[in-house]
């Protein structure tokens, strides 16, 4: 890397967390921020997260070896291109957006070459804004990086930084990325929103909303995500989301036909196939989707932390059902995911872990 100076454009939840991780974990000596909000700029500089902060790109970027673009999906490509007008030709520009093909295509179609590497850290939170940013946001989280066979050095620069902030880099291509995130994230958001809208449009009315719990709450939790954000994301990944939604519709139409024809074997196969695939994915062996009492815990990735959490809960009489590190956590914003048996266990776990000085929240 050319210099020890790095810049972050967009100092919100992801950009702020990235700036903190670059400072604390990766050890960059100079971090420059770009954000249109003066209050965010002032807060980040006063907190020591940024050395300098500006409202828009400028000549000050000439000294930067890498610039991270952490902006909403519709703005990423244009901002990366604007930034490239002020950076040295060796500077690597990368982004953190949830879709890749459109952004990379727009950057590559620009009139002059831009040393751009697409990136997508699989981390986040239900909250937004710099005030909720954390230096451990990317710890043990997958970091998808779009490989560039023409510029392996730029690709390796982003891979190295991802490792240094505690993430797990995975090299892929833009089409595979967009197809994968459509299936595991974008289409499920569409489906969750559809399920909630179905409840609202059904005859279940107030009773349905009153008793909506257990499995329904679990599988529709992501419908509470920011509407504008997810509108931008799904539209930016239009082809993959459309393809995925069409496949989901075909599956739903198939099971609808089997149910209407009283096809017990076909209906059973539909659920059995899903259960077998889900069990391998999650390690769970339960037939029905139970009510899940879970808490997410923010802890550093160092020896003894899982044992500490388990010991603290065990000493207080809380029975742990499962505990694991969350690698893909865009929606839960946690590092450790602890599952308990009862609501009382969950409430006691929250109280006990908070008393022990840990940051913890319920996953409802």
According to the model, what pLDDT value does residue 283 have? 38
Give the residue, 354 or 326, on which the prediction is more confident.
354
According to the model, what pLDDT value does residue 208 have? 82
According to the model, what pLDDT value does residue 305 have? 83
- Cβ proximity of 49 and 69 under 8 Å: no
Q: Identify the CA nearest to 15 among candidates 87, 85, 92, 76.
A: 76
Domain ranges of the chain: 5-172, 177-282, 293-363
Q: How confident is residue 322, by pLDDT bands cut at 50, 70 and 90?
A: confident
Query: For the CA atoms of the chain, what is the radius of gyration?
Result: 22
According to the model, what pLDDT value does residue 291 have? 58
Q: How confident is residue 321, by pLDDT bands cut at 50, 70 and 90?
A: confident
According to the model, what pLDDT value does residue 215 have? 66
| Cα–Cα distance list, 194 to 223, 227, 233, 249, 291 (Å) | 9, 13, 16, 12, 21
According to the model, what pLDDT value does residue 284 have? 38
Give the residue, 309 or 127, on which the prediction is more confident.
309
pLDDT in tens, 173-226: 999 999 999 998 999 999 999 999 998 888 887 788 777 755 677 788 788 888
Rounded to whole angstroms, the Cα distance separating 271 from 269 reads 5
Give the residue, 1 or 62, on which the prediction is more confident.
62
Per-residue burial over 150-179, b if 16 or more Cβ lie within 10 Å, else e, is: eeeebbbbbbebbeebbbbbeebbbeebbb
Residue 162 has pLDDT above 90, yes or no: yes
According to the model, what pLDDT value does residue 288 have? 28
According to the model, what pLDDT value does residue 363 have? 72
Rounded to whole angstroms, the Cα distance separating 19 from 68 reads 9
Q: Which CATH class is domain 177-282?
A: mainly alpha
- Cβ proximity of 84 and 111 under 8 Å: no
Residue 268 has pLDDT above 80, yes or no: yes
Q: How confident is residue 330, by pLDDT bands cut at 50, 70 and 90?
A: low
According to the model, what pLDDT value does residue 138 have? 92
Residue 280 has pLDDT above 70, yes or no: yes
Homologous superfamily of domain range 293-363: ACT domain (3.30.70.260)
According to the model, what pLDDT value does residue 95 have? 98
Mean pLDDT of the chain: 89
Residue 343 has pLDDT above 70, yes or no: yes
Q: What percent of the chain has pLDDT over 90?
A: 65
Residue 331 has pLDDT above 70, yes or no: no
According to the model, what pLDDT value does residue 290 have? 42
Rounded to whole angstroms, the Cα distance separating 298 from 310 reads 14
Tokens of 35: 């954000």
pLDDT in tens, 8-40: 999 999 999 999 999 999 999 999 999 999 999
Q: How confident is residue 285, by pLDDT bands cut at 50, 70 and 90?
A: very low
Q: Residue 197 CB: number of other CB atoms within 10 A?
A: 11
According to the model, what pLDDT value does residue 364 have? 56
- Cβ proximity of 70 and 8 under 8 Å: yes
Q: Which residues pair with 66 in a beta bridge?
A: 6, 92
Return the C-alpha torsion angle 134, 191, 105, 86, nearest 10: -30
Q: How confident is residue 47, by pLDDT bands cut at 50, 70 and 90?
A: very high
Residue 325 has pLDDT above 90, yes or no: no
Residue 230 has pLDDT above 80, yes or no: yes
CATH of 5-172, picked from 3.30.70.890, 3.40.50.720, 3.30.70.20, 3.40.50.150, is: 3.40.50.720
- Do the domains at 5-172 and 293-363 have one common CATH topology? no
């Amino acid at each position: 890397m050319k210099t020890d100076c790095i810049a972050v454009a967009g100092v919100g939840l992801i950009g702020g967390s990235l700036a903190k991780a670059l400072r604390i974990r990766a050890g960059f000596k100079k971090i420059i921020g770009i954000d249109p909000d003066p209050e965010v700029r002032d807060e980040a500089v006063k907190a020591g997260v940024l050395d300098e902060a500006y409202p828009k790109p400028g000549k000050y970027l000439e000294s930067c070896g890498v610039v991270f673009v952490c902006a909403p999906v519709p703005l990423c490509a244009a901002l990366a291109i604007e930034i490239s007008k002020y950076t040295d030709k060796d500077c690597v520009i990368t982004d953190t957006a949830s879709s890749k093909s459109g952004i990379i295509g727009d950057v590559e179609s620009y009139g002059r070459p831009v040393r751009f590497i697409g990136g997508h850290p699989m981390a986040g939170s239900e909250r937004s804004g710099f005030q909720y940013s954390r230096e451990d946001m990317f710890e043990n989280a997958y970091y998808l990086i779009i490989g560039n066979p023409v510029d392996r050095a730029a690709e390796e620069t982003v891979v190295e930084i991802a490792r240094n902030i505690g993430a797990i880099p995975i090299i892929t291509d833009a089409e595979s990325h967009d197809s994968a995130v459509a299936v595991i994230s974008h289409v499920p958001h569409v489906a969750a929103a559809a399920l909630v809208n179905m409840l609202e449009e059904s005859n279940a009315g107030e009773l349905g909303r009153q008793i909506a719990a257990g499995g329904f709450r679990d599988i529709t939790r992501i419908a509470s995500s920011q509407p504008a954000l997810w509108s931008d994301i799904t539209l930016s990944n239009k082809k993959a989301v459309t393809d995925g939604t069409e496949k989901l519709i075909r599956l739903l139409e198939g099971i609808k036909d089997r149910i209407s024809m009283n096809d017990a074997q076909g209906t059973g196969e539909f659920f059995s196939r899903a259960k077998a695939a889900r069990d391998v994915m999650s390690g769970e062996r339960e037939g029905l989707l139970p009510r899940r009492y879970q808490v997410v815990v923010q802890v550093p990735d160092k020896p003894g932390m899982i044992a500490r959490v388990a010991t603290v809960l065990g000493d207080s009489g809380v029975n742990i059902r499962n505990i694991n590190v969350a690698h893909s956590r865009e929606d839960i914003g946690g590092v450790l995911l602890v599952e308990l048996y009862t609501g009382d266990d969950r409430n006691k776990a929250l109280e006990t872990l908070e008393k022990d000085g840990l940051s913890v929240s319920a996953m409802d």
